[in-house]
Amino acid sequence: MFSHLPLYAGDPILSLQQAYLAEPRADKVNLGIGAYQDENGAIPTLRSVAAVRPVLAADLGPTPYQPIAGSKQYRDLVTELVLGSDRYRKVGERTVAIQSLGGSGALRVGCDLLKRYFPDSQVFISAPSWPNHQAIFEAAGFKVGSYRYFDATTNGVDFDGMLADLQAMPARSIVILHPACHNPTGADLTRDQWDAVIKVIAGRNLLPFLDMAYQGFAEGIDEDGYAVHAMVDAGISLLLSVSFSKTFSLYGERCGALVGVSADADEAKRLLSQMEMSIRANYSSPPTFGGKIIARVLADAALRQDWMDEVGEMRTRMLRMRDRLHAGMKARAPSLNVDYLLSQRGMFSYTGLSAAQVERLRVEHGIYAVNSGRICVSGLRDDNVDRVAAAFAEVMHD
Ligand code: PLP
Ligand code: TYF
């Protein structure tokens, strides 16, 4: 019956993770998968999560179905978090949200409803983007194109190219944008550049789908919301997928949200009902426990502050590792220009390492990075960053 099925090659990043786990060298370094590792190389349990999880677990009781859209408290708290509380009060009646299965689930729910009601629109993702963007939108039946984004000569954003490509898109095109901590490059837009993008989105009547998986890893929770906030303030209708996998270190709980900002309360009602219809036909309703953890933390002023502090600690540690990697490489290969390590933000950096150089790092040094040259900065630690800097300098210089 199934013999005609081709084999799925698997996700290259997850395969790399398997290869890393199987690596016998004790001083191996994991710069592959996009999961935040702490200074001991472990996925942390956040203090705020550790404080509420046992309390919630001790008080579980029966587990009824959640509403299709998930917990109302969670949805409201998340919307307030991503919009900021003043803006939330102002635009709340035209804003809707559903509790999703991670950021990926939010993207899928969103693109299913878009395919139904914007059947002729094309989707555009940055070149490059998180590979699952293309996979998810194609699975929903969209044709996925790209807009210029990364400039390999500067290791920054090709902003003129990006703007020109946005300007050439047909009206009602769906544009996937990373508000902060671009995956895979770490190259983000400045605020002025976002303002220019917003003008084009409004002028060309484009539909932005913002994907926020790392809020707080660039500059701060509120600061990283700039693109979302500015678009809402400009009166643009949008979809926003939110992932808490990294920022709460709750990968397996699958926590996220799909937020929609529309023109008025009537549109909002329609939009929410279609999100619900999409969920009903996908997985019917979301799981309970992870969302309870997050809602409990966000609803309590002290726990929320502690969580924001923890996000700040993760961010600061990654910035320090960027500094140390940069300094270590400059000391060993002064002629290399690696200043982009300092301007790129969030968990990832596109290093410019070629696939052959990445392979040398793996084979000769036990350092695992993605073939594209993407590194996950959180895999760097005080006790390995000098060795990584030396190995990078060696393979880039040869
Ligand atoms: N969007 C981007 C840009 C990501 O990098 C990721 C995960 O790495 C996601 C969405 C999906 O997050 P989740 O694991 O919560 O589905
Ligand atoms: O970009 C990354 O590394 C993260 C982790 O199927 C990831 O998105 C990779 C593959 C996958 C799920 C998560």
pLDDT at 343: 96
Query: What is the percent of the chain where pLDDT is above 90?
Result: 98
Contacts of 147 (CB under 8 A, 6+ apart): 124, 125, 126, 127, 161, 162, 165, 166, 169, 175
The span from the CA of 241 to the CA of 269, in Å, is: 18
Lowest-confidence region among 3-17, 93-107, 180-194, 291-305: 3-17
Residues 204 and 346 in one domain: no
What is the mean pLDDT of the segment spanning 342-361?
96
Task: Answer whether residue 389 is part of any domain.
Answer: yes
Task: Clarify whether residues 320 and 232 are in a common domain.
Answer: no
Q: Which long-range contacts (CB under 8 A, 24 or more apart) does 83-89 make?
A: 83/225, 83/228, 83/229, 83/232, 83/259, 84/222, 84/225, 84/229, 87/229, 87/232, 87/233
Residues 212 and 263 in one domain: yes
| Same-domain status, 158 and 295 | yes
What tokens were used for 309? 């502090």
Q: Whose CA is nearest to atom 8 of ligand 2?
A: 34
CB of 245 shorter than 6 A to ligand 1: yes
Q: Which residue has the higher pLDDT, 112 or 10?
A: 112
Last residue of one domain, picked from the residues 301, 327, 361 = 301
Cα of 28 from ligand 2 centre, angstroms: 20
Ligand 1 neighbour 129 (Cβ under 6 A): no
Give the ligand with the smallest distance to the CA of 254: 1
Q: Which residues are catalytic?
A: 130, 211, 246
Q: What is the largest CA-CA distance in the chain?
A: 64
| 86 and 194 housed in the same domain | yes
List the residue whose alpha carbon is closest to atom 12 of ligand 2.
Answer: 14
Asked, for residue 7, whether it belongs to a domain, the answer is no
Average pLDDT over residues 140-147: 97
Q: Do 40 and 141 fall into the same domain?
A: no
Q: What is the mean pLDDT of residues 82-92?
A: 96
Q: Are residues 142 and 278 in the same domain?
A: yes
| Domain count along the chain | 2
Residue nearest to atom 1 of ligand 2 (CA): 34
Quickly list DSSP for 245-308. Answer: TTTTT-GGG-EEEEEEE-SSHHHHHHHHHHHHHHHHHHTSS--SHHHHHHHHHHHSHHHHHHHH
Select from 254, 275, 301 the last residue of a domain. Answer: 301
Domain presence at residue 342: yes
Q: Are residues 241 and 381 in the same domain?
A: no
**Within a domain: 92:** yes
Nearest residue to 238 via CA among 200, 278, 206: 206
Q: Evaluate: CB of 147 within 6 angstroms of ligand 1.
A: no
Specify whether the CB–CB gap between 149 and 123 falls below 8 A.
no
Is position 66 within any domain? Answer: yes
> What's the first-to-final CA gap in the chain, in angstroms?
52
- The secondary element (H helix, E strand) that includes residue 387 is helix 385-397
243 CA to middle of ligand 1, Å? 6
Calculate how far, in angstroms, residue 95's C-alpha sits from the geometric centre of ligand 1: 22
ipTM: 0.95
DSSP 312: H
Instruction: For residue 214, give Cα distances in angstroms to 220, 223, 310.
Output: 10, 12, 13
At 9 the pLDDT is: 86
Confidence of residue 80 (pLDDT cuts 50, 70, 90): very high
Beta-strand runs (E) in the chain: 29-30, 95-101, 123-127, 144-148, 150-151, 156-157, 174-177, 207-212, 238-243, 255-261, 348-350, 367-368, 374-376
**Tens digits of per-residue pLDDT, 221-274?**
999 999 999 999 999 999 999 999 999 999 999 999 999 999 999 999 999 999
Is a pLDDT exceeding 90 seen at residue 60?
A: no
**What is the predicted pLDDT for the residue at 376?**
98
Is residue 220 located within the same domain as residue 185? yes
CA of 305 to the centre of ligand 1 (A): 24
Is 28 among the domain residues?
Answer: yes
Task: Look at residues 277, 301, 325 and tell me which one is the last residue of a structural domain.
Answer: 301
State the pLDDT at residue 10. Answer: 86
Question: What are the CA-CA distances from residue 6 to residues 2, 9, 13, 142, 308 (Å)?
Answer: 9, 9, 20, 22, 45
Closest CA to 316 of 389, 226, 377, 250: 377
Does 4 have pLDDT greater than 80? yes
Q: What pLDDT sits at residue 11?
A: 87
Q: Are residues 226 and 109 in the same domain?
A: yes
Minimum-distance ligand to the CA of 211? 1
357 in a structural domain:
yes
**151-195 pLDDT, tens digit each:** 999 999 999 999 999 999 999 999 999 999 999 999 999 999 999
Residues 313 and 369 in one domain: yes
Question: Which numbered ligand comes closest to the C-alpha of 215?
Answer: 1
Say what the pLDDT of residue 214 is.
98
What's the pTM value of the predicted model, to 2 decimals? 0.96
pLDDT tens digits along 110-121 = 999 999 999 999
| pLDDT above 80: residue 42 | yes
Domain span at residue 82?
A: 55-301
**What lines the ligand 2 site, CB under 6 Å?**
11, 13-14, 33-34, 130, 183
Q: How far apart are CA 221 and CA 214, in angstroms?
A: 9
The residue type of 65 is: Y
pLDDT > 90? residue 398: no
Mean pLDDT of the chain: 97
Per-residue pLDDT tens for 268-306?
999 999 999 999 999 999 999 999 999 999 999 999 999
- What six digits make up the tokens of 250? 């709750």
Q: What whole-number distance in Å separates Cα of residue 242 and Cα of residue 318?
A: 21
Contact assessment for residue 184 and residue 370, using Cβ atoms and an 8 Å cutoff: yes
The one-letter code for the residue type at 347 is M
Over range 377-383, report the average pLDDT.
97
φ/ψ of residue 390, rounded to 5: -65, -45
Residue 124: pLDDT band with limits 50, 70, 90? very high
Strands of 123-127's sheet in order across: 95-101, 255-261, 238-243, 207-212, 174-177, 123-127, 144-148
Distance CA 378, CA 393 (A): 19
Is residue 1 one of the residues assigned to a domain? no
Q: Are residues 351 and 324 in the same domain?
A: yes
Which CATH number characterizes residue 376's domain? 3.90.1150.10
CATH classification of the domain holding 228:
3.40.640.10
Cα 223 to averaged position of ligand 2 atoms, centre (Å): 24
